[in-house]
């Protein structure tokens, strides 16, 4: 990703045409066939793809038989990359067309060209295109690498940066400055005579900004006159749809005439508009940039800022997007719409977890210039699409330097440790610890995200076993309370400069452990809606449940022959995430529950409540404890957890835990509730005891009508999106209709 150093944006990149190409210089004199290489294929970055060879005037592919990492290294170096990271068989980047030029390729790794490696010979192959090989190259380029191409010399660029003026150099993020490219180890400017808005759009997208804007030309002209200029010898020709400058075409060569170069112009200046979340506080005008008054698209389930499963709102219900035809153009529309830059990746196959509810869009086709994904052409018929095909994105985000203001210390690996923050004390910046009072999963989530380490695995209130930096032992931050959506820890509520930490720091300093994947529990709304009913049960049959506080407080004075009215229902809780849901408590601390005849690993796993329409609880919330196990699993997934015989507890990815309506405590005691209209609410993992990739889908709300004898439960929704509440939160959105083809 882009890195910021001393007011500079830098991004390693090269500028050939869309496909990386090279000839072997002088190959014809040595007897080695003259070939040209490129990387091609579907859903790929510029440094990866299907290997294609241009030989005898025709493009063809390479078979994966006998291919190795050594052959991949030869390919990558021939394309100007320093090394290969991996290779992929079986047409991972799609099947090529036409000739299969090479088969049974054998390289030692030191060859200058793939043509020098052993093979069956050009065109001699018994392979099919289902065996086309692909490679992933290291993004770092070979310094000064020149690539002769079909149309003469094309120049390799090692780096690109936005060089801010001195006045703007301390601004974060850097949104404006002279554009410079590094060629042959030297930074050079680009002449703006043929520069277009589309070129600026691509540069801004690379650096995490959704759009470009005008700037004060006069001030930059004055600056340019005072500075020594060293122009690059080419213009650039972008369509505006490219996700990276590396995929723009080279323009014409520019005659370099010393100080007379670019006589009618000046060095290119790029000025970008940041998304609302990244707007610098010094400029209030930026705060309105890309402000989404009525969000129609959102990202869910992503570990990092600017990534996630794509979800769209239609008729008041959030749904997903099927990955048929999903590509980088559509992903970039989503990223820019949400205030990020262009897309780094368009992900398919539910790579960032499966969603719930309807699949709203299928076969999405975008030009790349739409203001919203909802403006793209699509097929609303999603027959054949399942949540296993949910589309996702990874977006370019601005270099905010978030990771420079926070660190983990003393852990066994980079993903864990005592949390240390950079704070201002007595006019200087010092490192210190965070008070662990009220420290929990939400706060840990923000820390892990700020450091780019993914999700929180655990939040620690004692860290005596991690030896941090002794000079950073003092507590500099206390009273931290996060909602979980903040980008940095200092955006959370906290005490400010007046630290209050009764227990002190030291062994009680806050700590975290982070992970790249997390579970995601979702309650089945359909099962709850279909299984609710009333039962009148005598107190003498409820003694066990009474002892476990499963009844309302009025039961304490009830006669043994009296009856309690119970609202019963089944809970089916599915793990839609990317890792197993495991209880935080170790087995030695689990509690035996006589009613269920097994150990409960989480004392508060769900809250069951009946709430009036004005938000008042009318039936005392029952805090249910659970034994977690795999009741059923999707096809092909093996059960791992069971409650019997003190077994391991949890919920495997792709499995669900069912608590049937006829189990003790699987109810709300509504004996004292008067007839009326209510909201029936179930919350899973309410105390955020276990980290999940998405907590917004942990709440289920249903409308309920009780006439004193019968109860009707209807309109059950995940995410608390009961119609009346949705109208309050997003007025006018419930009637939103997506356009379709």
Question: What tens digit of pLDDT does each residue of 135-152 get?
Answer: 999 888 777 666 544 333
What does the CA dihedral 467, 468, 471, 477 come to, rounded to 10 degrees?
Answer: -130
Q: Of 328, 392, 336, 298, give the one whose Cα is nearest residue 46.
A: 328
Q: What is the mean pLDDT of the chain?
A: 83
Residue 280 maps to a domain? no
Q: Domain containing 198 — which CATH number?
A: 3.10.250.10
Sheet containing 533-538, strands listed edge to edge, beginning at the edge strand earlier in sequence? 533-538, 563-568, 667-669
Q: What is the mean pLDDT of residues 675-695?
A: 91
Domain final position from 84, 102, 137:
137
- The lowest-confidence range among 24-28, 396-400, 649-653 is 24-28
More confident residue, 622 or 316: 316
Residue 144 maps to a domain? no
Residue 221 sits in the same domain as residue 238: yes
Domain final position from 258, 273, 288:
273
Examine the pLDDT at 523 and tell me if it is beyond 70: yes
Per-residue CA distances from 79 to 43, 53, 344, 673 (Å): 19, 12, 21, 74
In this prediction, residue 723 carries a pLDDT of 35
In this prediction, residue 170 carries a pLDDT of 75
Domain final position from 488, 515, 542:
515
Half-sphere exposure of 559 (CA within 13 A, CB side): 3
**Percent with pLDDT over 90 in the chain:** 44
In this prediction, residue 261 carries a pLDDT of 82
Does the bond joining 586 to the residue before it have cis omega, within 30 degrees of 0? no
In this prediction, residue 27 carries a pLDDT of 40
Quote the longest CA-to-CA distance of the chain: 104
Examine the pLDDT at 118 and tell me if it is beyond 80: yes
Examine the pLDDT at 254 and tell me if it is beyond 90: no
In this prediction, residue 145 carries a pLDDT of 65
Half-sphere exposure of 740 (CA within 13 A, CB side): 12
Q: How far apart are CA 394 and CA 467, in angstroms?
A: 35
Residue 260 sits in the same domain as residue 308: no
What's the number of domains the chain is made of?
Answer: 5
Residue 661 maps to a domain? yes
In this prediction, residue 84 carries a pLDDT of 93
In this prediction, residue 478 carries a pLDDT of 93
740: pLDDT confidence band, cut at 50, 70 and 90?
very low
Q: What share of the chain is helix, strand, coil (3-state, %, to 5)?
A: 20, 35, 50
397-416 b/e (C-beta count within 10 Å ≥ 16 → b) = bbbbebeebbbbbbbeeebb
Residue 555 sits in the same domain as residue 677: yes
Examine the pLDDT at 70 and tell me if it is beyond 80: yes
Residue 488 sits in the same domain as residue 566: no
In this prediction, residue 623 carries a pLDDT of 62
- The lowest-confidence range among 159-168, 186-195, 654-663 is 159-168
Q: How far apart are CA 70 and CA 83, in angstroms?
A: 10
User: What pLDDT digit, counting tens, does each position of 591-604 carry?
Assistant: 777 666 777 777 78
370: pLDDT confidence band, cut at 50, 70 and 90?
very high
Please report the beta strands in 119-175, taking only residues with DSSP state E, as ranges in sequence order. 134-137, 146-149, 152-155, 159-163
Q: What is the mean pLDDT of residues 181-205?
A: 89
Q: What is the mean pLDDT of residues 510-538?
A: 93
Residue 543 sits in the same domain as residue 688: yes
User: What pLDDT digit, counting tens, does each position of 461-513 carry?
Assistant: 988 888 877 888 889 999 999 988 888 998 999 998 889 998 877 888 999 99
Q: Of 43, 135, 47, 93, give the one whose Cα is nearest residue 343.
A: 43
In this prediction, residue 625 carries a pLDDT of 64
Q: How far apart are CA 596 and CA 572, in angstroms?
A: 17
pTM for the predicted model, two decimal places: 0.75
In this prediction, residue 722 carries a pLDDT of 35
In this prediction, residue 645 carries a pLDDT of 75
Residue 4 maps to a domain? no
Residue 568 sits in the same domain as residue 689: yes
Residue 678 maps to a domain? yes
Residue 142 maps to a domain? no
Give the count of beta carbons closer than 10 Å to the beta carbon of residue 740. Answer: 15
Examine the pLDDT at 626 and tell me if it is beyond 80: no
Instruction: Report the range out of 345-359, 592-606, 612-626 with the highest average pLDDT.
Output: 345-359
- Structural domain containing residue 248: 159-273
Would you call 66 exposed, middle or buried from its count of C-beta atoms within 10 A (0-12, 13-18, 19+)?
middle
Residue 289 maps to a domain? no
User: What pLDDT digit, counting tens, does each position of 443-455 carry?
Assistant: 999 999 999 999 9
Q: How far apart are CA 343 and CA 682, in angstroms?
A: 37
Examine the pLDDT at 282 and tell me if it is beyond 70: no
Residue 525 sits in the same domain as residue 489: no
Examine the pLDDT at 276 and tell me if it is beyond 90: no
719: pLDDT confidence band, cut at 50, 70 and 90?
confident
Residue 528 sits in the same domain as residue 586: yes
Residue 461 sits in the same domain as residue 368: no
Residue 418 maps to a domain? yes
User: What pLDDT digit, counting tens, does each position of 13-39 carry?
Assistant: 444 333 443 333 334 445 678 888 888
User: What pLDDT digit, counting tens, does each position of 223-253 carry?
Assistant: 888 888 888 888 888 889 887 777 788 788 7
Instruction: Report the range out of 19-28, 452-461, 543-552 with the highest average pLDDT.
Output: 452-461
Q: What is the mean pLDDT of residues 687-713?
A: 92
Residue 78 sits in the same domain as residue 59: yes
Residue 259 sits in the same domain as residue 241: yes
Residue 559 sits in the same domain as residue 675: yes
């Amino acid at each position: 990703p882009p890195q910021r150093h001393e007011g500079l944006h830098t991004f390693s990149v090269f500028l050939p045409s869309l496909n990386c190409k090279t000839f072997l210089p002088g190959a014809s004199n040595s007897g080695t066939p003259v070939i040209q290489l490129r990387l091609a294929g579907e859903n790929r970055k510029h440094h990866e793809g299907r290997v294609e060879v241009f030989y005898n005037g025709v493009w063809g592919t390479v078979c994966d038989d006998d291919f190795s990492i050594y052959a991949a290294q030869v390919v990558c170096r021939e394309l100007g990359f320093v090394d290969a990271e991996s290779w992929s068989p079986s047409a991972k980047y799609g099947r090529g067309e036409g000739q299969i030029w090479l088969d049974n390729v054998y390289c030692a790794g030191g060859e200058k060209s793939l043509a020098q490696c052993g093979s069956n010979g050009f065109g001699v192959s018994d392979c099919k295109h289902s065996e086309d090989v692909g490679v992933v190259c290291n993004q770092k380029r070979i310094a000064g690498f020149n690539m002769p191409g079909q149309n003469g010399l094309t120049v390799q660029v090692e780096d690109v940066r936005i060089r801010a003026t001195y006045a703007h150099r301390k601004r974060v993020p850097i949104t404006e400055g002279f554009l410079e490219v590094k060629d042959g180890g030297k930074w050079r400017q680009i002449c703006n005579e043929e520069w277009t808005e589309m070129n600026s759009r691509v540069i801004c997208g690379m650096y995490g900004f959704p759009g470009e804007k005008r700037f004060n030309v006069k001030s930059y002209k004055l600056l340019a006159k005072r500075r020594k200029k060293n122009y690059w010898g080419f213009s650039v020709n972008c369509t505006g749809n490219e996700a990276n400058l590396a995929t723009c075409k080279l323009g014409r060569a520019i005659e370099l005439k010393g100080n007379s170069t670019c006589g009618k112009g000046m060095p290119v200046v790029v000025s970008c508009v940041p998304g609302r979340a990244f707007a610098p506080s010094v400029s209030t005008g930026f705060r309105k940039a890309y402000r989404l008054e009525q969000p129609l698209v959102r990202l869910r389930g992503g570990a990092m800022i600017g990534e996630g499963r794509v979800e769209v709102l239609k008729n008041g219900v959030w749904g997903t997007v099927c990955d048929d035809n999903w590509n980088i153009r559509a992903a970039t529309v989503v990223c820019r719409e949400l205030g990020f830059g262009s897309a780094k990746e368009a992900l398919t196959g539910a790579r960032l977890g499966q969603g719930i509810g309807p699949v709203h869009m299928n076969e999405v086709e975008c030009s790349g210039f739409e203001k919203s994904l909802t403006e793209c052409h699509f097929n609303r018929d999603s027959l054949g699409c399942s949540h296993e095909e949910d589309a996702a994105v990874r977006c370019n985000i601005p270099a905010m330097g978030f990771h420079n203001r926070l660190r983990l210390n003393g852990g066994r690996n980079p993903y864990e440790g005592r949390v240390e923050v950079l704070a201002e004390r007595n006019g200087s910046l010092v490192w210190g610890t965070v008070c662990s009072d009220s420290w929990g999963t939400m706060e840990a989530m923000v820390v892990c995200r700020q450091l780019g380490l993914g999700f929180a695995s655990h939040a620690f209130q004692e860290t005596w076993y991690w030896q941090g930096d002794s000079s950073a032992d003092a507590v500099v931050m206390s009273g931290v309370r996060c909602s979980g959506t903040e980008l940095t820890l200092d955006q959370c509520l906290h005490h400010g400069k007046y630290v209050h930490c009764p227990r002190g720091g030291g062994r009680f300093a806050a700590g975290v452990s982070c992970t790249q994947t997390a579970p995601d529990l979702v309650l089945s709304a359909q099962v709850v809606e279909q299984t609710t009913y009333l039962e009148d049960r005598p107190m003498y049959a409820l003694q066990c449940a009474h002892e476990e506080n499963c009844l309302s407080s009025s039961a304490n004075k009830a006669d043994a022959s009296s009856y309690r009215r119970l609202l019963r229902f089944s809970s089916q809780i599915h793990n839609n995430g990317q890792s197993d849901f495991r209880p935080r408590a170790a087995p030695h601390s689990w509690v035996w529950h006589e009613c269920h005849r097994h150990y409960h690993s989480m004392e508060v796993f769900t809250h069951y409540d009946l709430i009036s329409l004005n938000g008042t609880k009318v039936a005392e919330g029952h805090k249910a404890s659970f034994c977690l196990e795999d009741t059923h699993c999707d096809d092909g997934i093996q059960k791992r957890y069971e409650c019997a015989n003190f077994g391991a507890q949890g919920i495997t990815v792709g499995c669900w835990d069912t608590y049937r309506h006829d189990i003790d405590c699987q109810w709300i005691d509504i004996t004292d509730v008067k007839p009326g209209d209510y909201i029936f609410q179930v919350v899973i993992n309410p105390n955020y005891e276990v980290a999940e990739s998405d907590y917004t889908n942990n709440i289920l709300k249903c409308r309920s009508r009780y006439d004193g004898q019968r109860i009707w439960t209807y309109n059950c929704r995940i995410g608390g999106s009961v119609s009346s509440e949705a109208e309050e939160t997003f007025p006018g959105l419930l009637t939103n209709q997506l356009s379709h083809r």
